[in-house]
Amino acid sequence: MRLPSREFRQVSVALVLGACAGVTMPMLGISPAFAVEQAVPAEKNPPGDIPDTQVFIDYASPLGFSVKVPEGWARSDLADGVSFVDKLDGVAVSIAKADAAPTAASADTSNLSLFGKPERAVKVSSIKAVRLPAGQAIRIVYTSNSEPNAVTSTQVRLENERYLFFRNGKLATLEFFAPKGADNVDQWQLMSNSFRWN
């Protein structure tokens, strides 16, 4: 499975700034005009659990943040951030400029049609403000279809969590994804709590 596209990971800009005009996505789903794909059924015994024995290491970015990530995952350095992927699981952090801190209300009322590729059957279930060690953040929970496998064209239904952090004109987007039904609650919490501005 390929890592979600740069547009997919950069939704925070659209959420916060409402960068695109047009049809908006309801809080719990997509406008029928955008729902090109049907949601892929979740696996009965989904792969993607991060083992309880997984070792986490500190990653410090030259872009001004640090976060704990799973040791041994494949790293890809990007112009605006970094990603770590292992099989069907991934974590990515990207940095963008922003004029103001995001709020749950601004995320909820902004145009969500840029939430990645709309044909991937995105369904948002929660947008709320949370308090983490790095400060106030916005947590967005949603499901989506993965990109089609380059060889088999098969897709997996993913569960995703996205955290938006703001400081001094910078917006950090911390993203987790795994097959829907995988049990990564503790590991995702560990990583989201580890995020720091440097």
- Radius of gyration (Cα) for the chain, nearest Å? 16
- Does residue 42 fall inside a structural domain? no
Q: How many domains are there within the chain? A: 1
Distances (CA, A) of 136 to 60, 96, 103: 21, 17, 9
Q: Considering the entire predicted model, what is its pTM?
A: 0.77
- Does residue 150 fall inside a structural domain? yes
Domain extent, residue 104, equals: 6-18+52-197
Q: What is the CATH number of the domain that holds 121?
A: 3.40.1000.10
One digit per residue, pLDDT tens: the chain, 198 residues?
A: 444 444 434 433 333 333 333 333 333 333 334 446 788 777 655 677 898 899 999 999 999 999 999 999 999 999 999 999 998 899 999 999 999 999 888 876 554 544 555 568 888 899 999 999 999 999 999 999 998 889 999 999 999 999 999 999 999 999 999 999 999 999 999 999 999 999
